[in-house]
Structure 1
Amino acid sequence: MLKGAIARRYAGAIFEIARKQNTMDRTLDDVKHIAELFGQRKLAYLLREPKIPAQRKETALRQALAAKVLPTSLNLALLIVQRELVDVMPNIATEFENLVLDYRNQAIAEVTTAAQLDDAQQEIVRKALEHKTGKSIIMHSRVDPSILGGVVARVGDEIIDGSVRNRLHVMQQQLLSGITATDTDDEFASEDFAQPANR
């Protein structure tokens, strides 16, 4: 919980700077790049090791980042290392991306289907998710034949399961318990999802 609170605080600070300086896209790229860099084992060890002088850590960071990121992003990286929060950087990157998405009224949807969707089908799914969430959807698609058909979408913490596998499971449970199935329980029962589900 403490790590999450720290990440939100730093993400909030860099977000406000990016908003005021109109550098949101660049800062988002920078923060993701810094998180990836801090995940590299050799550099992460150097940055975490208390016996290594702070000046050496700063020099290594400046060499790795100065020509690639904004000065404000470099300052963030230096501050994170100075305060011994290297392990928190991935959380900061995630929190920052969430702030940017909220600011733009966007959401990322991880969409899984049993077979590859064509462009028209992807557009149907995207529009249905936008209608459901009230946000502009950025879709990341993947194929998993084990869901048998239909669509499974994860938007933030919410999972919308309209897969054939899930429908069969629900039907099985209803048959075992003697409850009559109703379409109202099916998140993806709308006409919007008819085409992808039938693929």
Structure 2
Amino acid sequence: MTSKMDHEDKVEAYARALIEAARSEGRANADLVQWQHAKKFSPEVLETLATMQAEEDTDLINDVARRYKAILDSEDTTISVTVTTAVPMDDELRNEVRTAMTEQLDAPIYLVERIDPKIIGGIVIEARGRRYDASVRAQLANIRKTLSASFIGGDD
């Protein structure tokens, strides 16, 4: 019960903080629209914004957006590959992933490393809008789904 109340208190506090800040600048409705779109942000965008906030670099957001577009519009064929592991990769694994992805994508890659203990183990690779999930968490979910299907569709 307490954790649900803590959750509700946090939600209320965040919402009121957003409203107060927005009202003081006359943009409450505009902020609501932005907030509703925020749920569509990828984890990478949220992490980047959080880092920029922590480093007090939010004044660079417009410059980053312009550079982002310039890089996309350029002839640069480098592909960003996000690799998520439960623990930091060692140099050997990093080199193996870099080599394999460079060969598979037939292009130079920029490796973005993320650590997420929730995947338990294994690796998740994302590139060009595709996701290869060989995490322990995904494997356990597949086992659970298979077992659930076999019991539901089992003997009558």
TM-score between the two structures when normalised by the length of structure 2: 0.50
Shift of 1:99: 3.1
Q: What is aligned with 1:106? A: 78
Aligned residues: 94
Name the CA distance, whole Å, in 1 between partners of 2:64 and 2:113.
23
Shift of 1:131: 2.9
Q: State yes or no: 1:118 paired with 2:137.
A: no
Name the CA distance, whole Å, in 2 between partners of 1:175 and 1:121.
33
- Relative contact order, higher structure (CA 8 A, sep 6+): 1
CA shift digits 1:90-109 (9 cap, x unpaired): 54432222233xx2321111
Q: Any residues of structure 2 matched to 1:1-199 within 5 Å, and which?
A: 39-40=58-59, 90-100=64-74, 103-178=75-150
- Secondary structure of 2:93's partner? helix
Q: Which runs of 5+ in 2 are unaligned?
A: 1-56, 151-156
Q: Indicate the larger mover: 150-159 or 107-116.
A: 150-159
Name the CA distance, whole Å, in 2 between partners of 1:124 and 1:113.
14
Name the CA distance, whole Å, in 1 between partners of 2:147 and 2:88.
32
Cα RMSD of the aligned pairs, angstroms, is 2.6
Shift of 1:139: 0.7
Inter-CA distance 175–133: structure 2 relative to 1 (3 Å threshold):
farther
Shift of 1:175: 2.0
Rg larger in structure = 1
Identity in percent: 24
Name the CA distance, whole Å, in 2 between partners of 1:128 and 1:171.
27
CA shift digits 1:165-188 (9 cap, x unpaired): 11111221122223xxxxxxxxxx
Q: What is aligned with 1:3? A: none
Shift of 1:114: 0.8
TM-score between the two structures when normalised by the length of structure 1: 0.41
Amino acid at match of 2:91: D
Inter-CA distance 91–108: structure 2 relative to 1 (3 Å threshold):
same
Amino acid at match of 1:110: T
